[in-house]
Chain A
Amino acid sequence: MPMKSVYLDNAATTQPAPEVVASMTEVLETHWGNPSSIHEVGRWARVRVEEARQHVATLLDCRPEEIVFTSGGTEADNLAILGVLEQGQGKKTHVITAATEHHAILDTVHWCQNNGFDTTILSVASDGRLDPSEVKKAIQPETALISLMFVNNELGTIHDIAEIGRVAREAGVVFHTDAVQAFGIIPFSVADLNVDLVSMSSHKIYGPKGVGALYVKKGTRLNPRTHGGSQERNLRTGTENVPGIIGFGNACQLCMERLESAPPAIQALRDRLEKEILETIADVSVNGSRMHRSPGILNCSFKGCEGEALLVGLDMQGIYVSTGSACTAGSTGASHVLRAIGLSLEVAQASLRFSFGRYNQPEDVDRVMEVLPKIVHRLRRMSPV
């Protein structure tokens, strides 16, 4: 009998909601026009795109005209950083970020550094959190942008974005947050955050891949990254990804309906898995702040085991987890996030990330606890340590 598989990698991507799939199929069949066309076919496509924009705006609690659709979180991050720096070129040439950011931010900031901009990469505390006063100290007269993530994708650590935003606002510096792991997952209103730019992704919230958005607070000046056409207020030109945007909008609607109920339900599963792992398996340490943490993410290190071998062992039993960010999978180099919170190479390489989502069931935790202790035991028996 084939066993039921257990998907615990929702921070990497989520299964598209059946409603989302249906909405995308429907729009491809009925309203497949070009939203820029003047005729009726185009007008219908425009109506659908703007409906979707409204759904995204509702979930973020902003105005629809502040939403710019992109191809995803990475493009939104690039548009935010490069768009702001190019806008301030000449005078404002400094950008601040942190060592635990996603590569979409870090690599973009490194590119800026190699192209004549100044950068400050802040370090974080051992619980993964950033001290807002460190941000304040790093601000210079030339600082154009502060970019700090809302929820860390590997640890689930939640940063005090509202407080950092207040610091940025006081200094008159544009503030961007990569909220890919927060948007639709934990309830918040953008109005409370004191941010100017917010990156969002569709496929982390049961929508399709290839679409995301950047919130651009009214009045924030940004240079475009693409040219040719005037779509998305000239900031992200090119014919809109209509089915992707419709799916994303629908995914936002579904998240909105569950915004209060989903996090506690997901957290209950995560907390039970954490408790059972810590009770059943010796020498396990939880990485990152346990208090300020996204409800679905559990990152822990199993002393004496290679995270990669644990992942493979679970995979062969139909349990799907991650050793860190999916974007660095295939690489056994230790996670830059785990290294940044001060873990030794050995402990960093012994880590696994479990990330829960909407479709997980209590039996999923049971299944993990049936399989995981045996794999840990086998690997520890093989390990010389």
Chain B
Amino acid sequence: MSGGVDSSVAAALLLEAGHDVVGLTMHLWSDEGTSKAPCCSFGGERDAAAVAAHLGFPHYTVDFSHEFFALVVKDFIGEYVRGHTPNPCIRCNTFMKWQLLWEKAQKFGAGYFATGHYARIEKSASRIHLRRAAIRQKDQSYALWGISQEQLNRTFLPLGEMSKDEVRKKAAALGLPNAQRNESQEICFVSNDNYRDFLKEHNPGVLEGIGSGEIIGPGGKVLGHHLGFPNYTIGQRRGLGLTWPRPLYVRHIDVATNRIFVDEEEGCYGHAMRVEQVNWVSWEKPSEAFEAEVQIRYRDPGNPARILPQEDGSVSVEFLSAAWAITPGQSAVFYQGDLLIGGGIIVSAKT
């Protein structure tokens, strides 16, 4: 339970369905050694505890601050230093929630695990299927591609058929103390949504070591200088400080030469990419190539592509029509209809 409306309503629905509910909240940030601790966790812990007390089930906060730093924050910093743009929520789901928290829940006596994610789980004869939420706009299945079959088999996602509006109405009807709480779309451990300041604060030496580099425009012309490539992300338009008749976007980050390549919108389309750390969800690992819709960032509507599973477990993706701003570090998730087949991390893109 994050303390937000979604996980609170999920808990309430389980309670109504007659389950023995225990609320767990992860304490993810220890303020030791940091002057500017983000405010995310403490307020959430309090809100979750208030909801549990209101609904009448036990609630515990478990301290995973060290684990969170080791498994999520370090990777977040490391990915930027590799010229990637990470999505820490994916690792948090895979390694924190469905791994450490689920293990902890079992030790606390739980037989099943539930969250307030908007997605649907369906049991078929041979495999547990993960599907997009009934309401496509709220779908969060994209962030759940890392969950194993064993874990899915013990997971409930009570909000999968609901709209946000219904969830809010339910929260209000139950008189939940957090019914009016606003949702945060920001990365929970980065204050003011400013990851650049976060990197500076947590990795000062490395950023200084990288230093400034060239910005290369269409046709190979040096257009200006950047502040160090980790400060940029593929598809970024703002903050480049360039003069050009048409808007320019970051097309490619070259870590080896510390150069950033920018281009006009149509120059930022990619035709293929390589995906690693692949997890097959609703399908067993396929041996043949297949066609699927590939979603390459959280709000991406998806792009038709051919998926070519490789010997080494990675996947090559060839887009049937080019995809815009393929960003290494982000997750690629393969769907057929609303069925989530599998996903992985984008490691490189080809234009």
Contact = CB atoms under 8 A, between A and B. Distances in A.
Interface of A: 306, 308-309, 312-313, 315-316, 330-333, 378-379, 382
A308 B109 CA distance: 12
Interface string B53-90: 00000101111001000000000000000000000000
B108 A312 contact: yes
A68 to B, nearest CB: 32
B106 interface: yes
A185 to B, nearest CB: 29
Contacts of A331: 27, 63
Contacts of B22: 312, 316
A379 B63 CA distance: 19
B108 A309 contact: yes
A7 to B, nearest CB: 16
Nearest to A312: B108
Contacts of B109: 312-313, 316, 378
Interface in B70-126: 104, 106-109
Contact of B62 (A316, A332, A378): A332
Q: Top 7 closest A-B pairs, CB basis? A: A309-B107, A312-B108, A332-B63, A331-B63, A330-B61, A309-B108, A306-B107
Contacts of B62: 308, 332
B96 to A, nearest CB: 14
A379 B58 contact: no
Contact of B27 (A309, A312, A316, A330): A330
B48 to A, nearest CB: 12
Interface centre among B27, B62, B104, B108 (most CB of A within 10 A): B108
Interface centre among B62, B106, B107 (most CB of A within 10 A): B107
21 contacts: A308-B62, A309-B107, A309-B108, A312-B60, A312-B108, A312-B109, A313-B108, A313-B109, A316-B22, A316-B58, A316-B108, A316-B109, A330-B27, A330-B61, A331-B27, A331-B63, A332-B62, A332-B63, A333-B63, A379-B107, A382-B106
A313 B60 CA distance: 12
A253 B106 CA distance: 47
B106 A330 contact: no
A221 B309 CA distance: 79
Nearest to A328: B63
Contacts of B106: 382
B63 A382 contact: no
Contacts of B104: 309
Contacts of A315: 58
Nearest to B109: A313
Given A312-B108, A330-B27, A331-B27, 5 more contacts: A309-B108, A331-B63, A332-B62, A332-B63, A333-B66
Contacts of B61: 330
Contacts of B63: 330-333
A329 to B, nearest CB: 9
B71 to A, nearest CB: 15
A316 B110 CA distance: 12
Nearest to B67: A332
A331 B31 CA distance: 13
Contacts of B66: 333
Contacts of A333: 63, 66
A93 to B, nearest CB: 27
A271 to B, nearest CB: 30
A352 to B, nearest CB: 14
Nearest to B27: A330
Contacts of B58: 312, 315-316
A380 to B, nearest CB: 11
Contacts of A309: 104, 107-108
